[in-house]
Amino acid sequence: MKKLKLILGVAFVSAAFTMCRKAEQFSEEGYDERLSGGLATVFDETSKAFSHAMAGLSANDQHAHDLGDAAFEQTFVTAPAPMFGGLGPVFNNVSCISCHHNDGKGTPTAGAVNSSLLFRISTSGNNEFGGPAGMDGYGGQIQDVAIFGKQPEAQIQITYTDEVVTYADGTQVTLRKPVYTMQNAYVAMTGNYSLSPRLAPPVFGLGLLENIPESTIVSFADEGDADGDGISGRPNYVYNAQRKQKELGRFGLKANTPTVITQVAGAYHQDMGITSSIFTKESSWGQLQMDDKADDPELPDSILHAVAFYVRSLAVPARRDVNNAEVKRGKELFVQMNCAACHKPVVQTGVDVTFPAISNQRIQPYTDLLLHDMGEGLADNYNDFLANGREWRTAPLWGIGLFEKTNGTPYYLHDGRARTMEEAILWHGGEAERSKTKFVQLSKTDRQAVLKFLKSL
Amino acid sequence: MKRSILAIASVIVLLGACKKDKDNNSTTTTEDFITLKQTVLTDFTNKVAVAGYKDLDDASVALYSSLDALNANASETNLNTARTAWKNMRTVWEQCEGFLFGPVEDNDYDPNMDTWPTDYVQMDSLLASANPLEVSDIQNATLSLRGFHPIEYILFGNHGDRTAASITARQRKYMMSLATDLKATCHALYLSWTAAPENFADKVKTAGNGSDKYAKKQEVYLAIVESITAICEEVGEGKMKEPFDAKDPAIVESPYSGNSIADFKNNIIGLQNVYMGKYKEDGKGINELVALRNKALDNKIQSQIAAAISSFDNVTSYFEVAIINQRTQVQIVMDNLAALRTTLDEELKPFIIQNITD
């Protein structure tokens, strides 16, 4: 007992001394590199790695997360239905989870029950909000499935042609370049259009990305490439259909969506044909197959908000093997090749006192959320607000090493053309051309180290 | 899909807990443990997973045959036989849901056969149309028109109010194509574990020893533990809690046959099969590994599983009725499942990380 008192006494005194010291910069070594999501990190490397709630949610928040979880997995059906009605009349899939497999990335096929690839369509013009104009009769997206009695707007045939890349050491990698062909269009197309393929991305960690201060993201931009490193990067500014104003774009593969809730409402609307308080008219509004039921909005606000909260509160999986020598070497190379100029390893989130798990967190998203010219090889020639046909948003790399766990067969890049991370690297062009070239010039051992590092994310 | 409160804390705690262990282990138990680690994986694969999927494959054939008989002769006897075959197949499937990882999720076999709810509007349109209702038509249809539940609706109506004579010719045609589709899915699932090119059984058994899916044994053990934790949570905090909280019978799964409670219980029996390493044939389970190093934990898990399973029997009405008038009994089941889930997540998972490192 006495001893305990003494210990407590010493502890108290030393605590008192500590309290008198001024705050110092916390050294970089003091952080645990595994904590990709800061406090909102989860230790799981199984197929469920992307599916965990952030720790420390209040009972009420956890309940909202659980409701959103159930709704995310829920199959919707044709109206009128006692529950979960409103699907279609044209759509791409029947639930969120159908495309975002295990809350992760999807499968690059279109129109089948397990397909996760959709196609935006537009003329080169803009609509009244500065976004893509879409196509008469089709809107902004090809819905390639329909409820019974209606016709899918079109089917997209996907074929690939092989291109071989050969390293100096003779090692060869086969890349596959996709060709997309519209078939069985339900009404004739008139005029020119561009198709933009979009593969469902992972949905974890979005609360953290949403909470990065706009000023931080804008500070990463270097639109005129003032530092001459070949990398510019610029923010997209897009229309927020909920707040009815122009805002920084963060989500979507061209940073074409400003907030999680508009992303969720947009997906219900365009991908499932379900109206909400944000998108009140059917995706087929004004088209030949529009349903004239007076049941809008079909999605209750409670479900919309629960699903938005669900994805905002999904934790980020921890890194593995961070002390492995090869992984460390790979990380050094990643930085030396300037990959980290866009795939920012460390970003600090803003303060949000209502949501401690995402507030003021040091996260490792490996993205700057900016648009970059990725070269002709990846171009879709489709404009999306400020993003031009060669620009894509830097994909966050956190969790990328777990895709083969969460997806069975992993696919990479905006349209899933890459089957390995190595193929994905080799597709980089435009602003990333110099970094890609440096990767190609690495020895086989060093290339393996880079891939091993990516696998640890 | 899954919550993991204190995930970080538990990792830190287990680092601190590493020391104690060695004092308790004689050389023999260490060797036993090493051997057992492999045996448990082999037995899980052969005696639980593959055996379960083989039964599912067989049950889908039996269901098809019974529906074929009903199709040829719409007697009440044949309807009853078909209902029994449907419930038998459901029992096997719900138990297989105790290990929802691997091809069943990677290849979407689960949603292909078990999507809910049924889309009445589309089903009515489909049946009223001139669609030929061949297997290929069903396989191209949306998920909510395929699998167990449309068959359930045709066989049972609402709580079994269907009569054999009232099943229309179109419904019979639809039912036969659904059963053929279901049979194909179950057979493909079985082959995904047992035959090239996928041969998932091999990937599990050779984990940490050449498996291209699991570089370490620990990875597959964590996948197994994650899958039993997930089903525990899915039942307690999803399938049961949502209708319970909403007091809404409309969102109960398997309402036509009144089979929901049996489904839930079979899910947890499936969990028990995985933990104990036995299904029809006895094998070595995770329980024995745990018992070698932490007998108290094994006792706790086994008794929590048993308590959860037996508490289902106190819910005596249909689940959609029980959420209104047997709330206490339903709450006890959910509490038992929550306690079990916490143990699996906060004690069994750290045990695996600590003790299976290769």
- CB-based contacts of B296, cutoff 8 Å, min separation 6: none
B76: confidence class by pLDDT, cuts 50, 70, 90: very high
Q: What number is the average pLDDT over the span B36-48?
A: 97
Cβ distance A148 to B115 less than 8 Å, yes or no, reads no
Give the CA distances from residue A129 to residues A195, A265, A392, in Å, rounded to whole numbers and listed in that order. Answer: 20, 17, 20
A25: confidence class by pLDDT, cuts 50, 70, 90: low
pLDDT value, residue B117: 86
Give the CA distances from residue B80 to residues A151, B74, B75, B160, B351, in Å, rounded to whole numbers and listed in that order. Answer: 39, 10, 9, 10, 47
Cβ distance B103 to A408 less than 8 Å, yes or no, reads yes
Q: Percent of chain B at pLDDT above 90?
A: 80
CATH number of residue B348's parent domain: 1.20.1420.20
Q: Show residues of chain A in contact with B11, CB under 8 Å.
A: 43
Give the CA distances from residue B184 to residues B57, B65, B101, in Å, rounded to whole numbers and listed in that order. Answer: 9, 14, 19
Cβ distance B1 to A69 less than 8 Å, yes or no, reads yes
A351-410 pLDDT, tens digit each: 999 999 999 999 999 999 999 999 999 999 999 999 999 999 999 999 999 999 998 899
**β-sheet bridge partners, residue A362:** A348
pLDDT value, residue A23: 59
Does B14 reside within a domain? yes
A255: confidence class by pLDDT, cuts 50, 70, 90: very high
Inform me whether the pLDDT recorded for B101 exceeds 50. yes
Cβ distance A56 to B5 less than 8 Å, yes or no, reads yes
- Please check whether residue B101 touches A, CB under 8 A: yes
The minimum CA-CA distance between A78 and chain B, rounded to whole Å, is 6
pLDDT value, residue B3: 53
- CB-based contacts of A6, cutoff 8 Å, min separation 6: none
Cβ distance A44 to B144 less than 8 Å, yes or no, reads no
The minimum CA-CA distance between A40 and chain B, rounded to whole Å, is 9
Distance CA B283, CA B262 (A): 25
**β-sheet bridge partners, residue A179:** A159
Single-letter amino acid, residue B151: I
Inform me whether the pLDDT recorded for B138 exceeds 80. yes
Average pLDDT, chain B: 91
Does B65 reside within a domain? yes
The whole-angstrom distance between residue A176's C-alpha and the CA centroid of its chain comes to: 22
A48-92 pLDDT, tens digit each: 999 999 999 999 999 999 999 999 999 999 998 888 999 999 999
DSSP letter assigned to residue A431: G
A204-227 pLDDT, tens digit each: 999 999 999 999 999 999 999 999
Contact, A67 vs A60, CB < 8 A? no
Does B1 reside within a domain? no
Per DSSP, the three-state class of B46 is helix
Domain of residue B112, residue span = 7-355
> How many CB atoms neighbour CB B255 within 10 A?
24
What's the domain count of chain B?
Answer: 1
Average pLDDT, chain A: 93
The minimum CA-CA distance between B198 and chain A, rounded to whole Å, is 11
Inform me whether the pLDDT recorded for A24 exceeds 70. no
Mutate to test the interface with B, among A144, A148, A311, A456 (most CBs of B within 10 A): A148
Distance CA A333, CA A327 (A): 10
Cβ distance A65 to B3 less than 8 Å, yes or no, reads yes
Per DSSP, the three-state class of B28 is helix
Who wins on pLDDT, A401 or B2?
A401
Cβ distance B117 to A81 less than 8 Å, yes or no, reads yes
Single-letter amino acid, residue B179: A
Where do we find the tokens 């596959």? Answer: A176
Dihedral sign (CA B235, B239, B242, B245):
negative
Tell me which chain B residue has its CA closest to the CA of residue A42: B7
The whole-angstrom distance between residue B336's C-alpha and the CA centroid of its chain comes to: 18
* Token output for B306: 């048993």
Pairing of strands A237-240, A245-248: antiparallel
> From the list A42, A77, A408, which residue is nearest B107 (CB)?
A408
Backbone angles phi, psi at A99, to 5 degrees: -100, -45
Q: Show residues of chain B in contact with A45, CB under 8 Å.
A: 219, 222
Distance CA A445, CA A84 (A): 53
Mutate to test the interface with B, among A39, A75, A316 (most CBs of B within 10 A): A75
How many residues belong to chain B? Answer: 358
Who wins on pLDDT, A440 or A3?
A440
A10: confidence class by pLDDT, cuts 50, 70, 90: very low
Give the CA distances from residue B299 to residues A204, B67, B284, B296, B348, in Å, rounded to whole numbers and listed in that order. Answer: 36, 44, 16, 5, 12
- Closest to A119 (Cα-Cα) out of A97, A141, A136: A141
Mutate to test the interface with B, among A45, A76, A77 (most CBs of B within 10 A): A77
Does B2 reside within a domain? no
Cβ distance B143 to A70 less than 8 Å, yes or no, reads no
Q: Show residues of chain B in contact with A69, CB under 8 Å.
A: 1, 238
How many residues belong to chain A? Answer: 457
Where do we find the tokens 């999507």? Answer: B115
